[in-house]
C-alpha cells in the first residue's frame, strides 16, 4: 500500500510540474509578442527572474510592453506573471494573476458567466515575488489570493486573452 501511495504521489507531482510553461516579453515588444521558453519549475523561474535585466529594461517600453515573465499552468488555467513599473532608479514589481472568475452580466443584474480575470498587485521586494511564485508552483492558489488581498491593487479587469 505504501508503495502504491508513493507511486501516486510521484505521478501527481510530475504531471503537475509538466503543466507549467513560461515566456518572456522584453521591454518594447508588441503586446502579442513574446519568447516562448518551454517547461517551467520554481527553480527555472527563479533563475530566469534573478537573471533578468529588470533595472535596464524598466521604463523602456517604447509604446509596447514592459518587461514581463509569465508562467502558465495548462491544467488549472491559472497564469501568474511578473513585470515592473517605474524607472531604473526606483521601480516596483507588478505581479498579476489571471484566473477563472464568475461575474454577472448586464451591470450585475444578469446571469453569471465565467471569464478569465486579471488582478495585478504592487510588490516592492524581489523576495515577495519569489514567495508568490512558490505558492503558485505548489498549487496553493487560494493562499496566494489571500496574500494578494492585503497588497495594493494596480489593476483588476476581465483579461483580454
**Number of residues in the chain:** 161
Over 50: is that where the pLDDT of 11 sits?
no
Q: Alpha-carbon distance 146 to 11, whole Å?
A: 28
Q: Per-residue pLDDT tens for 133-153?
A: 999 999 999 999 999 999 999
Q: How many domains does the chain have?
A: 1
Q: How many CA atoms lie within 13 A of 153 on its CB side?
A: 9
Q: Percentage of residues in the chain with pLDDT exceeding 70?
A: 88
E strand or H helix at 135, and its extent? helix 126-137
Please indicate whether residue 15 or residue 161 has the higher confidence score (pLDDT): 161
Residue 50 makes CB contacts below 8 A (sequence gap 6+) with 126
Residue 3: other Cβ atoms inside 10 A: 7
Q: Are 132 and 125 in contact (CB under 8 A)?
A: no
In this prediction the pTM is: 0.84
The DSSP output letter for 17 is H
Q: Which residues of 110-148 are buried (b: 16+ CB within 10 A; e: fewer)?
A: eeeeeeebbbbbebeeeeebbebbebbbebebeebeeeb
Please identify which residue in the block is written with the cell numbers 486573452.
161
Q: Which domain holds residue 85?
A: 2-158
16 closest CA partner among 81, 71, 95, 83: 71
pLDDT at 7: 44
Amino acid at each position: 500500500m505504501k508503495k502504491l501511495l508513493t507511486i501516486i504521489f510521484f505521478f501527481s507531482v510530475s504531471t503537475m510540474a509538466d503543466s507549467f510553461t513560461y515566456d518572456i516579453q522584453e521591454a518594447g515588444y508588441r503586446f502579442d509578442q513574446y519568447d516562448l521558453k518551454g517547461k517551467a519549475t520554481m527553480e527555472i523561474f527563479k533563475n530566469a527572474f534573478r537573471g533578468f535585466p529588470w533595472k535596464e529594461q524598466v521604463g523602456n517600453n517604447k509604446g509596447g510592453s514592459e518587461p514581463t515573465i509569465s508562467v502558465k499552468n495548462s491544467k488549472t488555467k491559472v497564469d501568474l506573471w511578473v513585470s515592473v513599473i517605474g524607472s531604473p532608479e526606483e521601480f516596483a514589481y507588478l505581479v498579476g494573476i489571471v484566473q477563472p472568475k464568475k461575474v454577472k452580466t448586464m451591470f450585475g443584474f444578469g446571469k453569471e458567466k465565467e471569464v478569465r480575470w486579471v488582478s495585478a498587485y504592487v510588490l516592492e521586494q524581489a523576495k515577495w515575488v519569489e514567495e508568490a511564485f512558490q505558492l503558485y508552483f505548489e498549487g496553493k492558489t487560494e493562499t496566494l489570493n489571500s496574500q494578494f488581498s492585503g497588497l495594493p491593487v494596480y489593476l483588476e479587469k476581465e483579461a483580454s486573452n
